[in-house]
Chain A
Amino acid sequence: MVDMPLGPAGVGVPADVEDVELYHPHSWVTKYVFSQDAKVIAIQYSFVALSVGLIALVLSWLMRLQLGFPGVFSFIDANAYYQFITMHGMMMVVYVLTALFLGGFGNYLIPLMVGARDMVFPYVNMLSFWVYLLAVLVLVGSFFAPGGPTGAGWTLYPPQAILSGTPGGQEWGIIMMLVSLMIFIIGFTMGGLNYVVTVLQARARGMTLMRMPLTVWGIFTASFMALLAFPALFVGAVMMLFDRIFGTSFFMPAIVEMGQPLERNGGSPLLFQHLFWFFGHPEVYIVALPAFGIVSDLISTHARRNIFGYRMMVWALLAIGALSFVVWAHHMYVSGMNPYFGFFFATTTLIIAVPTAIKVYNWILTLWRGNIHLTVPMLFALAFIVTFVNGGLTGLFLGNVVVDVPLSDTMFVVAHFHMVMGVAPILVIFGAIYHWYPKVTGRMLDDTLGKIHFWVTFLGAYAIFFPMHYLGLMGIPRRYYELGEMAFVPPSAHTLNAFITIVALIVGATQLVFVFNLFWSLRHGRPSGGNPWRATTLEWQTPETPPPHGNWGKDLPVVYRWAYDYSVPGADQDFLPQNQPGITRAAPGSLHG
């Protein structure tokens, strides 16, 4: 550690930056369309990702209509149902959650939170968005391709993914899906390099790694993981494309299709599963770690209390990041792999629960005796904790081989991963949008609409997914287009399915309240000022709101403290911004905190 040179007033000297490094837009097109400003790119990413999210939401409605009221809607046949499932899953996991957390929040928050003017490679950053958009267009384009999109399930398991019995298997669907994924990965790599290198190289003076807000830590770790995990999906996609187009047998075993033996033999479907889940499991944490980081900041800010166990939170993030690469095969207990593998992966799976539990304890201890403000972002953050614990506990069930084997093909798994990977991160995304919207637009989102949105979404999600666990325990299989007449399925299960569908329709429709709020508040929201939540982190200390191009005006900020100086005893206000040099003492007798 070297002490920073101090200016005359005991204030640190800001870092010099060469002006030429910053790109300056000259026209409307370079400012708002082909923009190299991370903030504009973030909004573009978020807008596209949220739009894809709305499409995926409608797809889930269509699936639920079939499950709740089988046979009523003639346009949902078995093929369409599987296409909806596949596209819903892939869109939500990759094109919504990953893109939104890293491309959206990463782009907006990293430069602002570490005190940089922009990302380090702005041109590559711009390219990253346009490549992502291309990937989305190819994916959505497969709806209009001959044969429609692929219906292989979001895991795209061979051999069925490229056989003629599967929708899109011998048509365009699977090819467009694989190509789209490859384009996405290329685009993400461009963005990911930016997120990582910006954190490493462009931090403001005084911003040591251990002074970074946990949001940045979460996004940083997740970006690094994504950079290393996505290649596995890329390799799988390349090899499956070869199998589909050139007739190779990487994954294709000897197989009889429609009574005809195919000209392939010897391939290993299990190999694809290994590759897919080598990406697939880190992917869960690629989504979860940014959510962990954001939730930590929301809780600390809205409870006016420093985060409990900051160091432990950072260590836990890193530990989860590393461990998530050695748990992948717990998705494959029923795949027929060597049973000893199952023993090993069950152990690592249970170990990863330890750092995760540490995080949960620390959130709760941060809340303990805090000055909790039940603002809309805080409501979402609290809902996240509850939901994540719920989903995590069922994860402990499924992490054990003997419990997983009977449950693996049931709705229990669907309920589990929707709780832990669907609802929980989405709650964080909503909380984060309510929290940072004032910085992006200069106006607050409407509070009443926000609370309506929160309560219907939160309670609705539980009404949807809690009963689903029960269906799973009863043995109701997942992936089935219709249940038909099965002796073990009581009529009450059908009633429950209809109930879930109705709630899903209501919860889905409620998201329109949120969309309306986003647009309405842009014009009519209450002006927020620069720091409406009285938060400490740098993005709230910009000279102007919304922050202009270059973020900081003439001088870059200098950081004097960590990100969590809330309710410091003796200070005259209950938060100390990271760029505030000393503590302004309150007048005697007016101490609080």
Chain B
Amino acid sequence: MASILLFLGLLAVVAAWWLARQGLASKPWLEHGATGALPEADPIPPSKIGLGIFLAVVGSLFALFISAYAMRMQLPDWRDVPIPGILWLNTAMLALSSLALHGAGTAAGRDDLPGLRVGLLAAGISALAFLSGQLLAWRQLTGEGYLLAANPANAFFYVLTGVHGLHLLGGLVALGRTIERSWRETATRSLRLSVELCATYWHFLFLAWLVFLSVLTGWAGDFVDICRQLLT
């Protein structure tokens, strides 16, 4: 359960940092009158905070899967899965998608509507390419006899990539709606916000994919081992 505890530990640090700025040591019974922090002039929109918290939830889901992976792989029946070469191409696709959305975000900031549309479309297409690539990787593995029920390593491969893919699919629904809006509206504030939210979600999923990839290839395990040797 080290991964999830590490993840929650990071969240706890963020929470503690935030709470430390909220005057938790104040004595509210002495403070009468109209004092109190004013909302900032340009408050963070609730949807951004909402997305941040949602990502914490998704992060803890992923960290728990990784914890389960780490515990299960120590048992003697574990046989590693060879990583299909196409995963590297997929990784590049997802990186491209993430970059394109970043570009769309900056284009939205410049009120550059054509640039915004191109960025969004490019992100959508490369994300679809990533998902199709993942399906190809699945086909390749099943073709080579690495079936779901044959070994826990196979099962984890399908489950981890599947869970990640489903989250990207959900993101594509939101991206699709944003693309549709970018054709209907000019670069309004709420459209800019939608693009920003999509970009954040995409960066998060790209990061999560890198973590998953490092776990599936065994690099994460090697890294942990090296750290352990350094410490002992």
Query: Are the C-beta atoms of A1 and B36 separated by less than 8 Å?
Result: yes
Q: Within B59-118, which residues are at the interface with A (CB < 8 Å)?
A: 60-61, 64-65, 67-68, 71-72, 75-78
In the complex, are the beta carbons of B155 and A242 less than 8 A apart? yes
Chain B residues, CB < 8 A from A210: 22-24, 26, 28
A208 lies within 8 A of B53 (CB): no
Binary flags per residue of A180-211, CB closer than 8 Å to B gives 1, else 0 = 00000000010011001100111001111111
Q: Indicate if the CB atoms of A310 and B28 lie closer than 8 Å.
A: yes
List CB contacts (< 8 Å) of B102-157 with chain A.
148-149, 152, 155
> B28: which of A192, A211, A267, A268 is its contact (CB, 8 Å)?
A211
A side interface size, CB within 8 A: 67
> Does A131 reach chain B (CB closer than 8 Å)?
no
Other-chain contact of A120, B24, B50, B56 (Cβ < 8 Å): B50
Once the chains bind, are B1 and A246 in contact (CB under 8 Å)? no
Chain A 313-343 interface residues, beta-carbon cutoff 8 Å to B: 314-315, 318, 322, 325-326
Q: List chain B residues, Cβ under 8 A from A267.
A: 72, 75, 152
Distance from B23 Cβ to chain A, minimum over Cβ atoms (Å): 6
Q: Does A232 lie at the interface of the complex (its beta carbon under 8 Å from any beta carbon of B)?
A: yes
* Shortest CB distance A562–B (Å): 4
Complex CA gap A73/B34 in Å reads: 66
- Specify which of A202, A208, A315 is in contact with B46 (CB 8 Å cutoff): A202
Among A1, A210, A265, A310: residue with most chain B CB under 10 A: A210
A558 to B36, CA, bound (A): 10
The one of B11, B12, B159 in contact with A242, judged by C-beta atoms closer than 8 angstroms, is: B159
Instruction: Say whether B230 faces chain A, with CB atoms less than 8 Å apart.
Output: no
Task: Give A510 to B47 CA distance when docked, in angstroms.
Answer: 45
**Contact segment of B37-45, B191-199, B205-213, B216-224:** B37-45
Q: Are A2 and B76 in contact (CB-based, < 8 A)? A: no
Chain A nearest CB from B211 CB (Å) reads: 16
Chain B residues within 8 Å of A207, by CB = 36
Are B53 and A559 closer than 8 Å at their CB atoms?
no
| In the complex, chain B residues 1-37 whose Cβ is within 8 Å of any chain A Cβ | 1, 4-5, 8, 11-12, 19, 22-29, 31-37
Q: Are B68 and A4 in contact (CB under 8 A)?
A: no
Cross-chain contact B43 with A278 (CB below 8 angstroms): no
Residue B49 at the A interface, CB < 8 A? yes
Contact A325 B61 (CB under 8 A): no
CB of A540 closer than 8 Å to a CB of B: no
Instruction: Identify the closest chain B residue to A7 (Cβ).
Output: B34
A560 at the interface (CB under 8 A from B): yes
Question: How many residues on B have C-beta within 8 angstroms of the other chain's C-beta atoms?
Answer: 52
Q: State whether the Cβ of A298 lies closer than 8 Å to any Cβ in chain B.
A: no
Tell which of A2, A5, A266, A322 touches B152, judged by Cβ atoms closer than 8 Å. Answer: A266
Q: Let me know if A326 and B5 touch, CB within 8 A.
A: yes
Q: Which residues of B contact A246 (CB under 8 A)?
A: 148-149, 155
Q: Are B32 and A560 in contact (CB under 8 A)?
A: yes
Name B34's contact: one of A12, A15, A197, A326 (CB within 8 Å): A12
A1–B37 touching, CB < 8 Å? yes
Enumerate A213-231 residues with CB–CB distance to B below 8 Å: 227-228, 231
| Complex CA–CA separation, A209 to B28 (angstroms) | 10
Query: Which segment of A29-37, A233-241, A398-406 sits at the interface?
Result: A233-241
C-alpha gap A12/B28 in the complex (Å)? 18
The reply on A274 being an interface residue by CB < 8 A is yes
On whether A266 and B76 interact (CB within 8 A), knowing A209-B23, A235-B68, A311-B25, the answer reads: yes
With an 8 A cutoff between CB atoms, is A387 at the interface?
no
Note all chain B residues with C-beta closer than 8 A to A239.
68, 159
Q: Which residues of A contact B56 (CB under 8 A)?
A: 227-228
Query: Is A412 an interface residue, CB under 8 A from the partner?
Result: no
| Chain A residues near B65 (CB-CB < 8 A) | 235
Contacts of A202 in B (CB 8 A): 46
A2 touches B38 (CB 8 A): yes
Q: A residues within 8 A CB of B148?
A: 242, 246, 248
Complex Cα gap A267–B75 (Å):
8
* B183, CB-defined interface residue at 8 Å: no
CB atoms of B46 and A201 under 8 A apart: yes
B173 within 8 A of A: no
List B contacts of A314 (CB < 8 A): 24
Q: Is the CB of A228 within 8 A of B11?
A: yes
Residues B27 and A311 in contact, CB atoms below 8 Å apart? yes
Given A207-B36, A227-B56, A311-B27: A250 touches B72 (CB 8 Å cut-off): yes
**Judging by beta carbons under 8 Å apart, are B28 and A228 in contact?**
no
Interface residues of A in 244-300 (CB under 8 A from B): 246-250, 265-268, 271, 274-275, 278
In the complex, the chain B residue whose C-beta lies closest to that of A267 is: B152
Set A197, A238, A325: member contacting B159, Cβ < 8 A: A238
Judge whether A459 is part of the interface by a CB distance below 8 angstroms.
no
Rounded to whole angstroms, the CA-CA distance of A406 and B27 in the bound complex is 47
Q: Is A581 an interface residue (CB 8 A)?
A: yes
Cβ 8 A contact of A208, one of B11, B37, B159:
B37
Judged by a CB distance under 8 angstroms, whether A121 is at the interface is: yes
The CA-CA distance from A206 to B67 in the complex, in Å, is 43
19 of the cross-chain contacts (CB-CB < 8 Å) are A2-B38, A4-B36, A193-B54, A196-B53, A201-B49, A206-B36, A235-B68, A238-B159, A239-B159, A242-B148, A242-B155, A246-B148, A248-B152, A250-B152, A250-B155, A271-B71, A310-B29, A325-B8, A560-B33
- B positions within 8 Å CB-CB of A: 1, 4-5, 8, 11-12, 19, 22-29, 31-39, 43-44, 46-47, 49-50, 53-54, 56-57, 60-61, 64-65, 67-68, 71-72, 75-78, 148-149, 152, 155, 159, 163
Q: A4-B34, A210-B24, A561-B33 are in contact. List 10 more A-B contacts (CB 8 A).
A: A4-B38, A12-B34, A189-B54, A192-B57, A210-B28, A239-B159, A246-B148, A266-B78, A271-B68, A310-B29
